[in-house]
Amino acid sequence: METNTQEIFDAGISVTKKAVQRLSAVMEAEGKKGFGLRMEVTSGGCSGMNYNMSFEKEQKEFDKVFESNGMKVFCDLKSYLYLKGIEVDFSNDILNGGFRINNPNAERTCGCGTSFSM
């Protein structure tokens, strides 16, 4: 019996309300109010791959575009293979505060949370 499998739910990139608040404040301070968040993966770091975040006004050709809690998120197709289903969060913890990437696809992450492997 042959079965066809199809992806029914396209897991996106989500951004928590806390992260949106912090990103919006940084955008405003940098004169980039109304921009979106670009998420990328590059090679490097102690676990093999690094997360990169930057601000962009418009999407690029072939970008995947998501919206989460009012924040537009842009991601190139290659990076999306590694970022599918992630959540961007922000914490005010005294020792470990900052942005956190919760990646259900990562097999291993480094201690600081900025690199991962699959």
Give residue-wise pLDDT tens across range 95-105: 778 899 888 87
Among the residues of 14-118, which ranges form H helices?
Answer: 17-29, 77-83
* Amino acid letter, residue 14: S
Q: Which two tokens stand for residue 110?
A: 């480094």
Predicted confidence (pLDDT) per residue in 39-78, tens digit: 999 887 655 778 899 999 999 999 999 999 999 999 999 9
Q: Considering the entire predicted model, what is its pTM?
A: 0.79
| Tokens matching residue 3 | 């079965």
CATH, domain 14-117, list 2.60.300.12, 2.30.30.240, 2.60.120.10, 3.40.50.300: 2.60.300.12
For 85-95, write each residue's pLDDT tens digit: 999 999 988 87
